Amino acid sequence: MNLPPTMRYIDVPQPGGPEAMVLATGPLPVPKDDEILLRVQVAGVNRPDVQQRKGLYPPPPGASPVLGLEAAGEVVALGPMASGFFPGQKVTALCNGGAYAEYVAVPCGQCLRWPEGYTAEAAAALPENFFTVWANVFDMAQLRPEESLLVHGGTSGIGLTALQLARAQGSDVFATAGSAEKCAFIERYGAISINYKSTDFQPVVSDKTNKRGVDVVLDMVGAPYTQRNLKCLAPRGRLVQVAFMQGSKAEIDLMPVMLKRLTITGSTMRPRSTAEKAAIAAALKQKVWPLLEQGKVAPVIHKVFPLEKVAEAHALMESSAHIGKILLAVAP
Q: What is the pLDDT of residues 15-51, one digit of tens each?
A: 999 999 999 999 999 999 999 999 999 999 999 999 9
Q: What is the 3-state secondary structure (H, E, C) of 249-303?
A: CCCCCCHHHHHHCCEEEECCCCCCCHHHHHHHHHHHHHHCHHHHHCCCCCCCEEE
**Rounded-to-integer distance, Cα 319 and Cα 331, Å:** 26
The mean pLDDT value for 274-284 works out to 98
Contact status, residue 213 vs residue 131, Cβ threshold 8 Å: no
Q: What is the pLDDT of residues 58-76, one digit of tens each?
A: 999 989 999 999 999 999 9
pLDDT at residue 1 greater than cutoff 80:
no
3-state secondary structure of 72: strand
Identity of residue 54: K
Q: How confident is the model at residue 175 (pLDDT cuts 50, 70, 90)?
A: very high
pLDDT at residue 268 greater than cutoff 80:
yes
Q: What count of other Cβ atoms lies within 10 Å of the Cβ of residue 213? A: 23
Q: How confident is the model at residue 325 (pLDDT cuts 50, 70, 90)?
A: very high
pLDDT at residue 332 greater than cutoff 90:
no
Q: What is the pLDDT of residues 206-226, one digit of tens each?
A: 999 999 999 999 999 999 999
Question: β-strand 6-11 against 70-78: which pairing, if any?
Answer: unpaired
The mean pLDDT value for 257-265 works out to 98
**Rounded-to-integer distance, Cα 133 and Cα 159, Å:** 9
Q: How confident is the model at residue 142 (pLDDT cuts 50, 70, 90)?
A: very high
| Residues 6 or more apart whose Cβ sits within 8 Å of residue 115 | 122, 123, 126, 289, 292, 293
Q: What is the pLDDT of residues 93-129, one digit of tens each?
A: 999 999 999 999 999 999 999 999 999 999 999 999 9
DSSP of 221-248: S-GGGHHHHHHHEEEEEEEEE---TT-S
**Rounded-to-integer distance, Cα 216 and Cα 310, Å:** 35
- Domains in the chain (CATH in brackets) are 6-126+272-329 (3.90.180.10), 130-266 (3.40.50.720)
3-state secondary structure of 187: helix
pLDDT of the residue at 109: 97
DSSP of 88-145: T-EEEEE-SS--SBSEEEEEGGGEEEPPTT--HHHHHTSHHHHHHHIIIIIIIS---T
pLDDT at residue 131 greater than cutoff 80:
yes
DSSP secondary structure code for residue 211 in this structure: T
The mean pLDDT value for 239-248 works out to 94
Mean pLDDT score of the chain, rounded to an integer? 97
